[in-house]
Amino acid sequence: MTKGSRADDLMRFSVAMPESLLMEFDQLVARRGLAKNRSEVVRDLVREALVESRTSLPGTVVMGTLTIVYNHHSPDLQNKLHMIQHDYCDSIVSTMHVHVNEHTCLEVVVIRGVSELVQAVANMILGTKGVKNGKLVLATVEG
């Protein structure tokens, strides 16, 4: 902060980057819609990077949202997923199950705890044989 400025005042700085990268960045800005300009998209990306950096620090309390997709006909898969969730019932806040079609299920598992535990539980679920794909999103809950 410079003298006389407030924490949320907008500060200008210039950024140098290769033209090809800037052109791709402008395409990203365009995809984010008419209400967005370069500055807003840079701010969004910086905020995302800061959240990612904070939530990956061991010991940081986070909320994780894990989304997985699986075929419920996979042998023993539902039972294994159920067992993991009971083993970590103190960390797993909620599970939503969606029957997508005849074969496919989607589950959203909300996990609370320190970053390394949330990631470990998510990796256990993601690594269970038969889980087709999934993604963990971490959110900070402090500050």
Binding interface with Ni ion (CB under 5 A): 99, 105
Closer residue to Ni ion (CB): 105 or 117? 105
**What SS3 class is residue 110?**
strand
Residue nearest to Ni ion (CB): 105
| Cα-trace Rg, the chain | 20
Any idea how long the chain is? Answer: 143
Closer residue to Ni ion (CB): 22 or 96? 96
Closer residue to Ni ion (CB): 82 or 99? 99
Closer residue to Ni ion (CB): 99 or 135? 99
End-to-end CA distance of the chain: 19
Tell how far CA 18 is from the center of its chain: 29
Q: What is the DSSP letter of 143?
A: -
CB of 97 to Ni ion, least distance (A): 6
CB of 72 to Ni ion, least distance (A): 5
CB of 132 to Ni ion, least distance (A): 13
CB of 55 to Ni ion, least distance (A): 29
**What SS3 class is residue 128?**
coil
Q: Please state at what angle helix 38-55 crosses helix 19-31, rounded to 10 degrees.
A: 90
